[in-house]
Amino acid sequence: MEKKAIYYEDLKGRKYVKEFINSFEEKTRGKILARAEFLERHWNEIRRPIVDKIDKDLYELRVHFAWNNVRVIYAHMFKDYIVLLHGLVKKTDRLLENDILKAKKRMLDFQIRYDKGLIKLR
């Protein structure tokens, strides 16, 4: 069973992860997008090093390059969706707490707006 990966979008229409991915050159952007598509198809069977669990609600999609490590923090929300919440270039061994907090705030905001009927999933 596939899930659909969607970008978190704030009230002003800003899609942070999409902007993050688009900030890379074409080859890097292609690799990140290909990994996200792979996640949609194989979300229930892939493990580390491609994905890693951060806590009970958050996961990281991991994309390695010779020059750095790209991460996209996401959550499984609802039955058929993966919400891409936050993107970063990881420069240390651990994720920074600030990055995790950003993703948690976006996940909570998404859930609240969905519950209020302000977000419609297709």
Structural domains in the chain, sorted by start: 4-115 (3.30.2310.20)
pLDDT tens digits for 1-24?
A: 899 999 999 999 999 999 999 999
Give tens-digit pLDDT for 82-96: 999 999 998 877 899
Mean pLDDT of 27-48: 94
Alpha helices in 43-90 (DSSP H): none
Mean pLDDT of the chain: 94
Q: Please list, residue by residue across 54-68, b when 16 or more beta carbons sit within 10 angstroms of its beta carbon and e when fewer do.
A: beeebbbbbbeeeee
CB within 8 Å of 80: residues ≥ 6 apart = 2, 3, 4, 121
At 56-72, the pLDDT tens digits run: 999 999 999 877 799 99
CA atoms within 13 A on the CB side of 30: 3
pLDDT tens digit string along 96-117? Answer: 999 999 999 999 999 999 999 9
β-bridge mates for residue 71, sequence order:
62, 88
The CA distance from 47 to 25, in Å, is: 27
What pTM was estimated for this model as a whole?
Answer: 0.94
